[in-house]
Structure 1
Amino acid sequence: MQALIKPVLALSVVAGLAACDTDLERGVTGAAIGGVAASATDNDVAAGAAVGALAGVYCDDAGVCR
C-alpha cells in the first residue's frame, strides 16, 4: 500500500492542475494538493503547500499541465 502513495499523489497533482485555467487557480489547487500530500506522508504541511503552489503556478510554463 505504501508503494502506491507516491504515484497516486503524482497523478492527482497533474490531473488537478490540468483542470485549472489561470495561474491563480493552479497555485491554489497546487497548494491544497501539496498540503494534503504532505499531511498524508507525515511531512511538513506548510512546506508541502508552498511547493505545491509553486508547482501549480509554473506547471504550464514547463509544459506539464497544458
Structure 2
Amino acid sequence: MNLFRPVALAGALLVAACGNTTADRALTGGAIGAGAGLAVGAVTGATLLEGAVIGGALGAAAGALTTKDQVNLGKPAWR
C-alpha cells in the first residue's frame, strides 16, 4: 500500500491543471489535487486532511508551473 500513494499522486499531477492563466491552473490543480489526495488518504490509511493538503499543494504547484500550451483542458467553469 505504501507504493500506491506516490503513484496515485503522480497520476493526479498529470491531470491537475486546466485553464488559460497561471492562476486558473493553480486553482483547478489545487482542487483536483485535494480531491485526489482525499481518495489516496482514505485508501492508504493516512488521514483525510493529510491527503487533501498534500494533494492540493502538489496539484496547485503543478498547475502554477505549467503553461497553457503544456496542459489546457479548456475554460474553467467560473469563467
Query: How far apart are 1:62 and its partner, in Å?
Result: 4.7
Query: How far apart are 1:27 and its partner, in Å?
Result: 0.7
TM-score (norm: length of structure 1):
0.69
- Structure 2: runs of 5 or more not aligned: 72-79
TM-score (norm: length of structure 2):
0.60
Partner residue, 1:14: 13
Query: How far apart are 1:57 and its partner, in Å?
Result: 1.2
The equivalences for 1:12-51 within 5 A come to 12-18=11-17, 20-21=18-19, 22=24, 23-51=26-54
- Structure 1: runs of 5 or more not aligned: none
Counting aligned pairs with the same residue, the percent is: 24
Return structure 1 stretches of 4+ with deviation > 3 angstroms: 60-63
Q: Distance in 1 between matches of 2:65 and 2:57?
A: 12
Alignment deviations for residues 16-57 of structure 1 (CA, whole Å, 9 cap, x no partner): 214x22211111001001110111111111111011111111
Number of residue pairs aligned between Structure 1 and Structure 2: 63
Give the number of the structure with larger relative contact order, counting CA–CA contacts within 8 Å between residues 6 or more apart.
2
Partner residue, 1:55: 58
Q: Distance in 2 between matches of 1:4 and 1:47?
A: 17
Q: Which has the larger radius of gyration?
A: 2
- Change in Cα spacing, 1:4 to 1:51, as seen in structure 2 (3 Å) is closer
